[in-house]
Structures are given as C-alpha cells and as structure tokens.
C-alpha cells in the first residue's frame, strides 16, 4: 500500500512587491491503490466503448468511389447521393436531358446524412446524433469523407483540393498550378496551368480526375491509361504539340535501314523539300523520300513537310 504524498507549498515571487506564499492542498481524501485501479479500469472501459462507437461500420458502407458512413445532399439539385462522383455520373448520364446536366459544386456542400442513424446535419466528421465517426479521413474544405486511409489522403492548399499518395511524396508547382511527385521536382518542363484542361484523348477534365495522370516530355498532361491506349495503337506523339512522348531512337534506326533499302526513282532523286521537326522545331531542306524525312538537327523522323 502506497502512502499518501503531501503536496508541497509553492512560493510565488513578484518583483517590486512583498513575497507572498500560496499553499496548494488536496481537498479529496487519499485513495487506495484498489480505488485507483478501479477508476483506471472504468476509464479504459469508457475508452473502449467510445472507440467502438467511433469505428462502428468502418469500411462497411459507401459507394464504388469511397468507403464512408454518410451521404451528401447536393446543394445544386437538393438530392441525396453517396458522393460527388455518384452525383456527377447520375446527372451527366447520356439519358439525362442536356439542359438538366450539371456538376456538383463540391465546396458548397452543407448537409450530410449519417448512414447509420439517418440524421441529416451540417458537414462534420462525427455524427451529432449517434456519435459515429463518419469517415477516418475528413476534409472540411473539400467536404471529403473517406474511411480508407490507406490512400494516404492530404489536402493541398495550392491546388485547393485533396490528393492521395502522402503529402511527403509530392510538391506543388506554382507555375503548373498542380502537385507532382517529388521525383519530378527538377525533371518536368513547366507548362502554365498544365492540369487545368481536358485530357487530349478522352476530354475529361484532368485537374480533379480520379484516374492517374502523367506528364509527357513536352510538359503536357494526359491520363496514363489514355497514353497507354495511344501507344498500343502506334501513336507516339503528343496530341497537342506532336512531340515524341517516348524514346524513339530504336524506331528511327529501323527507318534508316528502310530508307537505305528503298532507293528513290531517278525522277525524284534530286527533289528537295522543306520540313518542320515536331521534336526540336527546326525548319530544314532535305531530300524527298516516300518513306520518311529525317531532321538533320536532332535526327528525328517526327517531321512534317511544309513546302516543296
């Protein structure tokens, strides 16, 4: 059995004044170890109960886009949806009248409905009625709820939206006005508002797209899956500026051999034309050939005939 410990006196010193003494004493009766253990046990039990309430239904509810324990009321049409993507898919479906199609203003969402108890309330992480945590990740700015924190969500003030992948792995480029992987900090060509446009293949707005986006060597951005589809169909140039999107040196070597094996008829052997190189931007006068025209500056065959 531990003995009660007396609390010492505390002397308060004030400059240019008489010293005063204040004594702090315990007003409660000393407690035994058994009493302390009982109180600790009650405290632990309360924490367990509270944790169970908060985690009730975690990862069990939601939609194909997010695991969450709430739904949102869209401020634009006053209808209830699981998330903003569910709203946008429903309201922009091909069967919806074009005049009625619209996108939810995500930052203007004001009301959410708890999935477990059905209580409608202002946007907040904890349900005001049943006390459940409606999502382990919550952003009050984006009105984003997500129980799946393995995505490592974070809010970027520069972008004004939430992103995934862990904040320590990304940086915000002020000129491009978007976040890039740290790997690209010194390796990407800056393009003003690089993400603030549609994908040049599928025309989906890239800035808040949920699909992976990649940066081509020219600095233009595109969906990763769209770029892969292009390459599978032998399209290796940026749809916007026509610069090569990958190392084409091996292919250029094959064209060298094909041209060497395909001599032009005597009528065209002395014919010259002007070409513009899509890769380096050089204008050059070169011999005409039916197979391809090689840029004398960068040795690329990604060229177009401009005159001749």
Distance CA 75, CA 191 (A): 34
Using DSSP's 3-state secondary structure scheme, residue 96 falls into coil
Residues 252-263: pLDDT tens digits? Answer: 999 999 999 999
**CATH architecture for the domain at 262-307:** Single Sheet (2.20)
* In the chain, where the domains are located: 36-151, 156-232, 262-307
| pLDDT value at 43 more than 50 | no
Q: Among 87-101, 203-217, 244-258, where is mean pLDDT lowest?
A: 203-217
| End-to-end CA, the chain | 104
pTM: 0.67
Instruction: Give Cα separations from 149 to 83, 106, 136, 153, 198 (angstroms).
Output: 17, 20, 7, 7, 28
| pLDDT value at 93 more than 50 | yes
Residues 152-204: pLDDT tens digits? Answer: 999 999 999 999 999 999 999 999 999 989 988 888 888 888 889 999 999 99
Using DSSP's 3-state secondary structure scheme, residue 260 falls into helix
Residues 6 or more apart whose CB falls under 8 angstroms from that of 207 comprise 159, 161, 178, 195, 196
| pLDDT value at 2 more than 60 | no
Residues 6 or more apart whose CB falls under 8 angstroms from that of 169 comprise 181, 182
Confidence of residue 302 (pLDDT cuts 50, 70, 90): very high
Alpha carbons within 13 angstroms on the beta-carbon side of residue 166 total 5
Q: Are 286 and 300 in contact (CB under 8 A)?
A: no
């Amino acid at each position: 059995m531990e003995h009660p410990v007396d609390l010492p006196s505390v002397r308060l010193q004030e400059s240019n004044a008489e010293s005063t003494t204040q004594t702090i004493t315990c007003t409660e009766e000393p407690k035994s170890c058994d009493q302390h253990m009982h109180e600790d046990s009650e405290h632990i039990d309360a924490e367990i109960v509270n944790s169970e309430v908060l985690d009730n239904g975690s990862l069990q509810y939601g939609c194909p886009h997010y695991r969450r324990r709430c739904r949102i009321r869209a401020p634009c049409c006053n209808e209830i949806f699981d998330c903003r993507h569910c709203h946008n898919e429903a309201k922009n479906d091909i069967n919806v009248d074009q005049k009625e199609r619209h996108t939810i203003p995500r930052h203007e969402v004001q009301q959410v409905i708890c999935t477990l108890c059905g209580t409608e309330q202002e946007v907040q992480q904890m349900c005001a009625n049943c006390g459940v945590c409606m999502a382990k990740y919550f952003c009050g700015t984006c009105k984003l709820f997500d129980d799946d924190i393995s995505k490592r969500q974070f809010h970027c003030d520069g972008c004004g939206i939430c992103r995934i992948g862990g904040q320590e792995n990304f940086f915000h480029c002020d000129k491009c006005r978007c976040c890039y992987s740290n790997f690209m900090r010194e390796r990407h060509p800056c393009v003003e508002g690089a993400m603030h446009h549609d994908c040049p293949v599928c025309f989906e707005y890239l800035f808040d797209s949920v699909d992976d986006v990649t940066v081509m060597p020219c600095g233009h951005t595109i969906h990763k899956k769209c770029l892969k589809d292009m390459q599978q169909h032998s399209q290796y140039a940026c749809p916007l500026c026509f610069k090569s999107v990958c190392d084409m040196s091996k292919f250029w070597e094959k064209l060298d051999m094909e041209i060497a094996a395909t001599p032009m008829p005597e009528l065209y052997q002395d014919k010259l034309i002007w070409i513009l190189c899509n890769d380096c931007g050089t204008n050059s006068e070169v011999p005409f050939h039916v197979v391809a025209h090689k840029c004398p500056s960068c040795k690329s065959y990604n060229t177009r005939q401009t005159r001749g």
